[in-house]
Structures are given as structure tokens and as C-alpha cells.
A = this chain, B = another copy of it.
């Protein structure tokens, strides 16, 4: 089995450090062999890098990059809670929410940005069941929100 830190280094994927949570919810919760992490938007250092709706302010390629960044923040949550990303056996489920203007129906192409990142990091074990839906508004005007469930070794 591949060492994930080596994979991240080889692929030049930098997992950010997240700020400590301030509310009644937490970055992630372990239950048995499953870990659930909280929904993430495409922020860096707590600030949104992408803003607006797909089909209006953002094109698909920007949405793809936004979904990738949101998924990277989910990986950061995994690291924050688990300490070591090698504890992840496989990604089980990914949920992707795309802030969509009327008539924008390419949500899967946007959320592929999140799915592809997970497959880059964990290979076949990074592939997952998924849904991608178009919502009306997301926190602070984010274009995407992503969350995931992983299984631990």
C-alpha cells in the first residue's frame, strides 16, 4: 500500500491546515470504522477563493477547480481528525452541492473536480459513491460545497 504522504509530495498536493472550529459542530466525527467530515467550500485560510453561481459568475472549469479545492479542505479535515492520512482505507461517499443559476445542469462535471482529487490521492480506493446536485445558495456565496465519508483501516 502506498504511503499517502509520499503520494501527496510526488503530486505536489499540499493539504492545508484548517482553523480550529468555533461552534457546536466539528470538522469530523469517527463512528466505528467510518469518519464523517463536515461540508467544505473552496476557501484558503478561511477566505473563499471562488464565489458566485455556476452558469452565471463561474464557468465549468472554474467550478471544477473550486470543487477540487473544497475536496482538498475535506482531506485537511481528515488529517486534522486522524493525524495520519494513511489511516484512511477508502473513500466511501462524496456529496457535491453546486450553487446553480437557472438552467445550469452540468453539476457532475463540476463535482468531478472533487472526485478526481480523491482518486489522484488514493487511487482505486479513492473512488466513491457520489451524488451531485444543484442548490440555490451556499454559505457566503460559495459556488460549491463538498463533504465525504471515508472508511478507516
Contact = CB atoms under 8 A, between A and B. Distances in A.
B129 A24 contact: no
Interface string A123-143: 000111111111111111110
A39 B140 contact: no
Nearest to A147: B131
A42 to B, nearest CB: 14
B24 A127 contact: yes
A39 to B, nearest CB: 3
Contacts of A128: 24-26, 29
Interface in A1-60: 23-29, 31-34, 36-39
Interface of A: 23-29, 31-34, 36-39, 90-95, 97, 100, 102-108, 112, 115-116, 118-119, 126-142, 145, 147, 149, 151
Would you list the 6 A-B pairs with minimal beta carbon distance, nearest first? Answer: A39-B131, A134-B137, A24-B115, A25-B130, A24-B119, A36-B129
